[in-house]
Amino acid sequence: MPTVTRRQTLAMGAGAFVAAVLAGRVPVQAQTDTLTIAFNVNLPSFDPTVGTSAVNPTIQAIYRSIFDQYVGQKPDLSFEPGLLTDWGWNDDRTQVWMDVREGVTWHDGTPFTPADVVWSLERAAKPETGNPIQFVWSKIGNFQVDGNRITADVLSFEPTLFKWMAFLTGYVLPKDYYERVGAEGFEAAPIGTGPYMVDAYEGNSFLRLKANADYWGGKPAFETVIFKFVTDATSRVAEIESGSSDITLEVPYEEYDRLVAKDGLDGVATPISDIGMIFIRNTEPMLDENVRLAAHHAIDKQAIVDRLLRGYGVPISTLEAPEYDAFDPSIEVAHDPEKAAELLAQSGYGPDNPVRFTIQTTRGFKPKDYEMIQAIVGMWRRIGIEAEIEVYEIAKHFELRAGHALAPAAFYNWGNAIGDPTTSTGFAMFGPSPHSSWKTDDVDAMIGPLWGEADEEKRIQGWKDVSRYVAEKGYVIPVLQYVQPIVFKDTLNVTPNVSGALEPTLVERAS
């Protein structure tokens, strides 16, 4: 294929060039100031603060490219200034204060001000706006602005408030622009203060971004970034192998090993803050504790990691990964098929009279997700569990979960980039949470007092106690901590992000 120069690219016109790239007719490497990412999910919405897509950890890579968060987060998950340069509580924790960054502009050239921060926080706190984390943002109010400092009253103490400002839905939107164009207008032409600006979008196909030359954090390395939405893992492998894309993620591990051994390609595979887990819903037959615990004890997690994932994974027994604040390594639900069979027998089940239910899973969203569930279903069958596999898209999972309509078992990837137990065990297991599947009074009674616990040592120990109780009751089945495979051209340098967000700002040209 002939090389295409920058002059030829400009002559083609931007639209024609991108169409040719997406069709695979032009090698992306010819356009040296363009980074093309074969991405593993579609973008359902541009608003990062409302709806179920706002709590999809995978999409945060796109949102962080366009918008800025109140508080920034480094690839190692440590916090850093974002649109707020400093923040904190007063001595008795009845107020919070926030210092707003100066000299920032929105993508339309208008100045970013403290009024945007106040409006964004107030909007997020209103139930009618549809922010899935409204119950966090509503904990502060009565905002006052003095220069670039904002103060607010603590209406209800939330120990993780500032952590959330670097997490899901913690984005600042433009007050004047949004009020002028409305929700539909914003969706059609979104603007932020982030390193990239929206240039073109074709739903379920691609998103093209262009660099924000006036970005307060410095102009990004690439003039153009193209997210190609490639939800099929095999197709993502083809994208990187053919050279049609510069970088991709979440490919099967055997393909990762094969690809990084090829000339011209490189890769990184890093443990991230995501957990592969099986939600259990409080419906038959999962109301039977013996069934729940048998299903957990029957799973050989190490075998799944070793045989299916080629060693890329860390078996776990709780929703707290080793990097999380409330991780307790002493909590373990061992692989014990004999005990699993005994538990089922106590409830009258066995290979001759199996217990039956449906388990839902994605296919290709994460490496070997479907194959892992196939393996687990096979392990279950040997002890007397017959599970039927139902494949769904990740967007469907969010819809069903919000309506408390998941199957009795549902495989999911839980991300927790801030490592706090409230954002793992808490939201996954607390009944009133829209993100939970198991909803019963016993676990809610343990979790309830922890939300506002001001004593940090007591709070963390309380969450460890909840994690142990949940494991003993079999209310959820954690499977493993993920290792994220990223494959890229060896002309690039990539900084892996422990959050799992493949942000274009973490990719640079190799020197």
145 and 110, same domain (yes or no):
yes
- Choosing from 155, 176, 197, the residue where a domain stops is 176
Q: How far is CA 101 from CA 85, 113, 472, in A?
A: 6, 8, 47
Helix (H, G, I), strand (E, B) or coil at 29: helix
Q: Where are the alpha helices (DSSP H) in 67-113?
A: none
With respect to residue 55, please indicate whether it lies within any of the assigned structural domains.
no
Residues 239 and 299 placed together within one structural domain of the fold = no
* pLDDT value, residue 229: 97
- What CATH number does residue 19 fall under? 3.40.190.10
Do the domain assignments include residue 302? yes
Domain boundary (176, 209, 225) is at 176
- Mean pLDDT confidence for 398-402: 92
Q: Is the pLDDT at 22 greater than 60, yes or no?
A: no
Q: Is the pLDDT of residue 1 over 80?
A: no
Residue after which a domain boundary falls, among 176, 197, 225: 176
Which DSSP symbol is given to 353? B
Both 283 and 385 in one domain: the answer is yes
* In-domain check, residue 490: yes
User: 214, 105 in Cβ contact below 8 A?
Assistant: yes
CATH number of the domain bearing residue 129? 3.90.76.10
CB-based contact 367:232 (threshold 8 Å): no
Question: Quick one: pLDDT at residue 20?
Answer: 52
Residue 17 confidence (pLDDT): 44
**Is 50 part of a structural domain of the chain?**
no
Rounded average pLDDT over 277-305: 98
pLDDT, one tens digit per residue, over 166-184 is 999 999 999 999 999 999 9
Amino acid, single-letter form, for residue 381:
R
Same domain, 295 and 261: no
Nearest to 164 by CA among 129, 194, 135, 141: 135
Q: Is residue 449 part of a domain?
A: yes
User: Whole-angstrom Cα distance, residue 330 to residue 327?
Assistant: 9
pTM for the model: 0.83
Q: For residues 164 and 258, state if they share a domain.
A: no
In a domain, 117, yes or no: yes
What does the pLDDT read at residue 19?
52
What's the number of domains the chain is made of? Answer: 3
Domain holding 433, by residue range, is 271-483
Residues 437 and 338 in one domain: yes
- Mean of pLDDT values over 91-109: 97
Residues 206-212 have a mean pLDDT of 98
For residues 342 and 379, membership in a common domain is answered with yes
Identify the CATH number of the domain in which residue 396 sits: 3.10.105.10
Quote the pLDDT of residue 235: 97
Do 324 and 398 share a structural domain? yes
- pLDDT mean over 152-160: 95
Decide if 358 is inside a domain.
yes
357 in the same domain as 209: no
- H helical segments located in 289-403: 289-297, 301-303, 337-346, 369-383, 394-402
The pLDDT tens digits for 102-153 are: 999 999 999 999 999 999 999 999 999 999 999 899 999 999 999 999 999 9
Whether residues 359 and 280 share a domain: the answer is yes
Mean pLDDT taken over the chain: 93
| Same domain (yes/no): 238, 305 | no
151 lies in a domain?
A: yes
Co-location of 253 and 284 in the same domain: no
